[in-house]
A and B are shown apart, each in its own frame.
Chain A
Amino acid sequence: MKTTSRSWRLLLLATAVLAIAALGVAGCGGSGTTDAGGVPAPAISGFTPQPMAADTILGAGASFPAPLYMKWGSDYNGVSGVKLNYQSIGSGGGIAAIEAKTVDFGASDAPLEQAELEANGLAQFPMVVGGVVLVVNLDGVADGQLKLTSDLLAGIYMGTITTWNDPAIAKVNPGVTLPATKIYVVHRSDGSGTTWILTHYLTDAAGSVWTAGADKEIAWPVGVGGKGNEGVAASVQQLSGSIGYVEYAYAKQTGMTTAQLQNKDGQWVKPSIASFSSAASNADWKASLPSMYMVLVNQPGADSWPITGASFILMQKDQADAARGKAALEFFNWGYTNGADAATALDYVPIPADVYKLAQDQVWPTITVSGTPVWP
């Protein structure tokens, strides 16, 4: 019957599908947790029962520290076998996720004030400090060549300064060839701690020009939105003549052109771990307890980078699962004690020992299961 050839074809198709499925299952069960750097990790079979200690930590939030957290996660996996799944969805997303209890921790560069922490039963502590830099896509301008005062930056983002060769910009940039083209402004389309840091800086340093407020999300007068630090960096890469703001690691790792800023002391500074540290050294963390709310913009110091900020971790005070809470804190402890090298390699400023001891002594004991702290 003529259906025979059809049956053979069906059989072939079914075999192909089954083969792919079998390969997939084999791949799932067989491979373990090889981290991206090729460091062999203890193979964990996919089908053995889960051990008592949690082996996966789920975090979500700020894209500001994301390159570092993911590098830490990758390294930590090699050391301990515990997997960190960090989803970079923006500080707003991190706060929403931890308030909805869909993650083990949320990350935000926009710290919550004590009232909001209490209202949601959250504990907050700083994990790392970094700098927000301005990246531009301009032919003929080299990295670190362009200079922008706070008023200029505010004017650009307010939409009052519209062309690159505006006399105000040219005035502080003698010798730099600025094209007569329009400045294309890129900001964040999602709720962002990076935005929070930048807008606090603009309000503080250029309050007469900047009137759009300071928050994770504002009503931007001009500009297109990119999703995450990643999206802003990618947009600036695609749009020539554009300017955007990103955490320094994004600029450095992609070789983008950054601008110099003028700090509170009137000095022109370039972004670097030294300038971020200089700004961060002004922080009085003890006074910031119990919320550890800290703003590091526009700090005094000849070398201070004016748009520095700390990135915070948020965790539920009342943990549902002791093992997962402990696993998360163990990871953060490792980050504090062993992660400094990875941080400085990516130009983040690690939290100094006295500060993180403060966090571990004052904030971590509030993270409990039925009243008992999960750490140590």
Chain B
Amino acid sequence: MNSHRRQAIERGAGGAPLCAVADVRDFAPPRRRSIARRKATDLVVKGFSWIGASVGIAVMAFIVWEVVVRGAAALNVAFFTQPTPMDVTTNAGGFANAILGTIVITGVAALIAIPMGFMGGVYLAEFGRNGRIATGVRMIANVVMGVPSIIVGVFAFATIVKPVHHYSGFAGSVALAFIMLPVMARTTEDILNLVPNELRESGLAMGAPRWKVTLGVVCKAARGGLITGASLAIVRVAGETAPLLFTVLSSPYWMTGLFGPGGFFGGPVANLTKTIYDFSSSPYPHWQELAWAGALVIIIAVLGMNILVRLIFQRGKK
């Protein structure tokens, strides 16, 4: 807008301008720039847009392609049944114990974070709403979502591993739960906010207690979104490596129960991401292949889950 033509713009409630912001004189037939030139600029930018989108999609496809091609070679029955190899001289071994370990660690993290995050989201959407505490909590949740996962790993090391002098799958679960918690809370809040108030009002008007209305009516209506949110949060942390570096380490064996040095609470537990990290930075071709196969498993799980939940629960939306 030409600065020397600043004019008072009528604004409505909330500050949005009531009229077109651009000045008509900006679009008058220009003396210096021809229409052809404007069209050319437009075409160039549109070209860049198409190129940009193609680049973005191409990179995405390239990564998936590389993982599929390199990983498919090593994906066989042994991969899913045998534990990670310890012998560099043979070609045996698989990632079965690592896959199980990740499922368990992520599962426990979900058990901790999803109920707590859900109730936190309920607080933000139903009780706190626009109050000061809730606004503060919301801002904090947004901030914590951006904290680098390595810092969370350091935190879990200092609070759980160091005092008890041993690594454990549980410490890793706590680190992952820490990451999942704000994601779950904010997602829950966003989903619950989409539910129209009429539902709440009708439930309350029929004499149902608050908790029944929230859990039985509102959440039921928002079921799809909630499950989507929870699933996406789970797969997001399933692929994390940094929080597990100083908390869980890894192991070439199956997890043996809960306690004791091979157990979930007692010692290192095999997990997929750390194992992939170790094997992909090794110089042995067979181990590198296994790492690619592990990466393929993760990509299938993560992308598959993403696509699956979108297909199942968001048909018709957006």
A47/B166 in contact, CB under 8 A: no
Cβ-based interface call for B203 (8 A): no
**Interface flags, A13-46, vs B, CB<8A=1, else 0:** 1000000110010011001111111100000101
How many angstroms from the CA of A256 to the CA of B255 in the assembled complex?
Answer: 35
Q: List chain A residues, Cβ under 8 A from B284.
A: 253-254
B255/A73 in contact, CB under 8 A: no
A24/B100 in contact, CB under 8 A: yes
Nearest residue, chain B, Cβ from A228: B281
Q: List chain A residues, Cβ under 8 A from B86.
A: 35-36, 70-71, 73-74, 86
Given contacts A10-B227, A71-B89, contact A46 B257 (CB under 8 A): yes
Q: List chain A residues, Cβ under 8 A from B128.
A: none
Given contacts A46-B255, A56-B253, contact A67 B223 (CB under 8 A): no
Distance in Å: Cβ of A256 to nearest Cβ of chain B: 7
B253/A33 in contact, CB under 8 A: yes
B100/A28 in contact, CB under 8 A: yes
Cβ-based interface call for A170 (8 A): no
Nearest residue, chain B, Cβ from A226: B281
Cβ-based interface call for A101 (8 A): yes
How many angstroms from the CA of A244 to the CA of B165 in the assembled complex?
Answer: 35
B281/A56 in contact, CB under 8 A: no
Nearest residue, chain A, Cβ from B164: A102
A85/B252 in contact, CB under 8 A: yes
Given contacts A13-B312, A24-B104, contact A56 B261 (CB under 8 A): yes
For chain B residues 223-246, which have a beta carbon within 8 Å of chain A?
223-224, 227
Cβ-based interface call for A50 (8 A): yes
From A47, A70, A71, A83, B262 is in contact (CB under 8 Å) with A83
Cβ-based interface call for B87 (8 A): yes
Nearest residue, chain A, Cβ from B94: A36
Interface residues on A, range: 35 or more
**Interface flags, A62-84, vs B, CB<8A=1, else 0:** 00000100110110000000010
A100/B162 in contact, CB under 8 A: yes
Cβ-based interface call for B90 (8 A): yes
A47/B92 in contact, CB under 8 A: no
Nearest residue, chain B, Cβ from A35: B86
Cβ-based interface call for B130 (8 A): no
Nearest residue, chain B, Cβ from A72: B86
A56/B260 in contact, CB under 8 A: yes
A37/B254 in contact, CB under 8 A: no
Cβ-based interface call for A183 (8 A): no
How many angstroms from the CA of A376 to the CA of B165 in the assembled complex?
Answer: 26
Cβ-based interface call for B121 (8 A): no
A sample of 27 inter-chain contacts (CB < 8 A) reads A13-B308, A24-B103, A24-B104, A27-B96, A32-B254, A36-B87, A36-B90, A36-B92, A37-B92, A46-B254, A46-B257, A56-B256, A70-B87, A71-B86, A73-B252, A85-B261, A85-B267, A87-B249, A100-B165, A101-B165, A102-B167, A226-B281, A230-B278, A231-B281, A233-B282, A237-B283, A249-B88
Binding site for A on B (CB under 8 A): 81-90, 92-93, 96, 100, 103-104, 107, 161-162, 165-167, 223-224, 227, 249-257, 259-262, 267-268, 278, 281-285, 308, 312-313
Binding site for B on A (CB under 8 A): 6, 9-10, 13, 20-21, 24, 27-28, 31-38, 44, 46-47, 50, 54-58, 60, 67, 70-71, 73-74, 83, 85-88, 100-102, 226-228, 230-231, 233-234, 237, 249-250, 253-254, 256, 324, 345-346
Extra inter-chain contacts (10) besides given A55-B261, A56-B261, CB under 8 Å:
A21-B103, A28-B254, A31-B81, A33-B254, A36-B85, A58-B166, A70-B86, A85-B251, A100-B162, A102-B166
